[in-house]
C-alpha cells in the first residue's frame, strides 16, 4: 500500500476532541433553522444517514436550531456541493450531505463538470468509514465473484461519479469480470427493485451499511449473494461471513495501486460540508456539534435501530485527507481514471 494511504483505514476512529464554543457563535444559531441538503434521492443510504443526523444534530448546536433535511440529488452530490459553494447562505444555516464521488469525480474524470472545488468546501465530519460490496440476487447465475470472471451478466449503476458505476467498471478492468454495466438508475433503492424484477443480476459499489439498512430481509432470508467486499482493510463482519476481498482478484501490482486509490474515498464515506466562506467561529461550532452528535447515545441507539454503522471522522481530518487525494501522483491518477470509465 502506498505510504500516502498506509494506515488510513486502521486507527481512524480516535477519541474526538471537544472544544469550547465562543459565546457569539452560540448566539448566532438561536431561533434559526439549518437546512441539511442531501445530495441523493429519498430512501437510499445517504438519505437514511442524513436524516438520522438531522434528528439529533440540533441538540448539540448552541441555540438548538431546527435541522431541516431536504433532498437535492444530482451528480453524486456534486450538484448540492455546487449550491453550497455558490448560492447557499454563508452563515452556517445551509450545510450538505455529499457522496465520496462528488470529491473523487474531478480527479477520476477529466471531462467532469467542475461544480465545486472539493479542496475549498469545509468538512464538518463524516459519519461512516465504509466498506462497499458487490451483490447479486439469489437466483442469479453469478453466485460468487469468481463466477463473474467467466459468465456474462448485467450489473446496475447510477451515473458518472457514483460508486455503483465507477466501482462496476473498476472491477471489470482490474479483475477481468465479464458483466456489463447498465447505468441510469436513480440509486440503490431503485436497483434493488430492478434486481427483484430480474432486470439486472447485481450491483457493485453498494455501501455495506446501506445494504443492511435498506434490505435486511435479503440478509435474513438469504435472498442475496455477497460476492465481494471492497475496502482498504477487511471488514470483520463480512470476513466472518466468508466474503472475499477485492484484492483477491486484482490482476497486477499496478491494478492494486489503482484500486487502493479509488477506494480510499471510503475513508470519508458520509461527509457533511459547509460553504468555503463560513466564518471560523461558526465552523468550530458546527464541527464540535457534529463530533458530539457522533458520540451521543440517543443518536447511536437510533443508528442501531436502523442498522446503520457509525464510524466517525472529525472534519479537520477529512479536510486533510481530501488535500492528500488531490496531490496524488499523476501517473497513478491517470490509470485510475481509465479504470473507472466505460
pLDDT in tens, 208-237: 988 998 999 999 999 999 999 999 889 999
Domain annotation covers residue 2:
no
Q: How many domains does the chain have?
A: 2
Domain annotation covers residue 151:
yes
Does the pLDDT at position 24 exceed 80? Answer: no
Boundary residue ending a domain (240, 264, 288): 264
Residues 136 and 124 in one domain: no
Going from the C-alpha of 92 to that of each of 42, 50, 82, 106, 283, the distances in angstroms are: 23, 17, 16, 26, 8
Range of the domain at 240: 132-264
CA 83 and chain centroid, separation = 19
Select the highest-mean-pLDDT range: 103-107, 112-116, 166-170: 166-170
Residues 205 and 240 in one domain: yes
Domain annotation covers residue 168:
yes
Closest by Cα among 74, 180, 127 to 311: 127
Residues 33 and 88 in one domain: yes
* For range 87-110, the mean pLDDT: 89
Domain annotation covers residue 4:
no
CA pair distance 228, 70, nearest whole angstrom:
33
Predicted local confidence at residue 152, as pLDDT: 97
Joined together, the cell numbers standing for residue 175 give 479483475
Domain annotation covers residue 3:
no
For strand 66-71 and strand 122-126, is the pairing parallel, antiparallel, or unpaired? unpaired
Least confident of 113-117, 137-141, 308-312: 113-117
CA pair distance 158, 177, nearest whole angstrom:
19
Residue 111: pLDDT band (50, 70, 90) is low
For strand 202-207 and strand 154-156, is the pairing parallel, antiparallel, or unpaired? parallel
Residues 54 and 77 in one domain: yes
Residues 258 and 163 in one domain: yes
Boundary residue ending a domain (217, 240, 264): 264
Average pLDDT of the residues of the chain: 88
Boundary residue ending a domain (264, 280, 300): 264
Closest by Cα among 290, 311, 318 to 18: 290
Residues 204-215 have pLDDT tens digits of 999 998 899 899
- CATH number of the domain at 34, please: 3.40.190.150
For strand 122-126 and strand 271-274, is the pairing parallel, antiparallel, or unpaired? antiparallel
pTM for this prediction: 0.71
Residues 44 and 108 in one domain: yes
Residues 237-263 have pLDDT tens digits of 999 999 999 999 999 999 999 999 999
Does the pLDDT at position 43 exceed 80? Answer: yes
Domain annotation covers residue 15:
no
Residues 87 and 123 in one domain: yes
Domain annotation covers residue 338:
no
* For range 131-144, the mean pLDDT: 96
Domain annotation covers residue 339:
no
Residues 139 and 260 in one domain: yes
Residues 268-326 have pLDDT tens digits of 889 999 999 999 999 999 999 999 999 999 999 999 999 888 989 899 999 998 998 88
- CATH number of the domain at 140, please: 3.40.190.10
The residue assigned the cell 442524513 is 50
Residues 145 and 247 in one domain: yes
Residues 124 and 141 in one domain: no
Check if the beta carbon of residue 98 is closer than 8 Å to that of residue 39: yes
Predicted local confidence at residue 9, as pLDDT: 39
Q: Report which of residues 340 and 17 the model is more confident about.
A: 340
| 3-class SS letters over the chain | CCCCCCCCCCCCCCCCCCCCCCHHHHHHCCCCEEEEEECCCCCCHHHHHHHHHHHHHHHHCCCCCEEEEEECCCHHHHHHHHHHHHCCCCCCCEEEEECHHHHHHHHHCCCCCCCCCCCCCEEEEECCCCCEEEEEECCCCCCCHHHHCCCCCEEECCCCCCHHHHHHHHHHHHHCCCCEEECCCCCHHHHHHHHHHCCCCEEEEEEHHHHHHHCHHHHHCCCEEEEEEECCCCCHHHHHCCCCEHHHCCCCHHHHHHHHHHHHHHHHCCEEEECCCCCHHHHHHHHHHHHHHHCCHHHHHHHHHCCCCCCCEEHHHHHHHHHHHCCCCHHHHHHHHHHCCC
Residues 256 and 158 in one domain: yes
Residues 169 and 209 in one domain: yes
Predicted local confidence at residue 125, as pLDDT: 97
Amino acid at each position: 500500500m502506498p505510504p500516502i494511504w498506509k494506515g488510513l483505514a486502521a486507527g481512524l476512529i480516535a477519541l474526538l476532541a471537544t472544544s469550547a464554543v465562543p459565546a457569539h457563535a452560540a448566539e448566532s444559531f438561536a431561533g434559526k433553522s439549518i437546512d441539511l441538503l442531501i445530495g441523493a434521492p429519498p430512501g437510499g443510504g445517504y438519505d437514511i444517514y442524513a436524516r438520522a443526523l438531522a434528528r439529533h444534530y440540533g441538540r448539540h448546536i448552541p441555540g438548538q436550531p431546527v435541522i431541516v433535511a431536504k433532498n437535492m440529488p444530482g451528480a453524486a452530490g456534486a450538484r448540492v456541493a455546487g449550491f453550497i459553494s455558490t448560492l447557499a447562505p454563508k452563515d452556517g444555516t445551509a450545510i450538505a450531505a455529499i457522496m465520496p464521488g462528488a470529491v473523487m469525480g474531478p480527479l477520476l474524470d477529466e471531462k467532469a463538470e467542475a461544480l465545486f472545488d472539493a479542496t475549498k468546501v469545509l468538512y464538518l465530519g463524516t459519519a461512516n468509514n465504509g466498506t462497499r460490496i458487490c451483490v447479486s440476487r439469489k437466483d442469479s447465475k453469478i453466485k460468487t465473484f469468481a463466477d463473474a470472471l467467466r459468465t456474462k451478466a448485467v450489473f446496475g449503476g447510477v451515473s458518472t461519479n457514483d460508486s455503483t458505476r465507477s466501482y462496476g467498471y473498476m472491477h471489470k478492468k482490474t479483475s477481468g469480470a465479464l458483466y456489463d454495466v447498465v447505468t441510469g438508475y436513480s440509486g440503490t433503492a431503485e436497483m434493488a427493485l430492478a434486481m427483484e424484477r430480474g432486470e439486472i443480476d447485481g450491483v457493485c459499489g453498494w455501501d455495506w451499511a446501506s445494504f443492511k439498512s435498506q434490505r435486511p430481509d435479503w440478509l435474513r432470508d438469504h435472498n442475496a449473494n455477497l460476492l465481494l467486499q471492497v475496502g482498504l482493510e477487511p471488514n470483520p463482519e463480512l470476513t466472518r461471513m466468508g466474503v472475499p476481498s477485492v484484492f483477491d482478484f486484482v490482476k497486477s501490482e499496478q491494478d492494486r495501486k489503482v484500486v487502493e486509490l479509488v477506494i480510499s474515498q471510503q475513508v470519508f464515506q458520509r461527509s457533511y460540508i459547509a460553504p468555503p466562506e463560513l466564518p471560523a467561529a461558526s465552523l468550530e461550532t458546527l464541527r464540535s456539534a457534529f463530533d458530539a452528535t457522533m458520540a451521543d447515545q440517543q443518536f447511536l441507539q437510533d443508528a442501531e435501530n436502523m442498522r446503520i454503522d457509525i464510524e466517525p471522522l472529525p472534519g479537520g481530518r477529512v479536510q486533510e485527507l481530501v488535500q492528500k487525494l488531490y496531490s496524488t501522483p499523476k501517473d497513478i491518477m491517470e490509470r485510475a481514471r481509465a479504470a473507472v470509465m466505460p
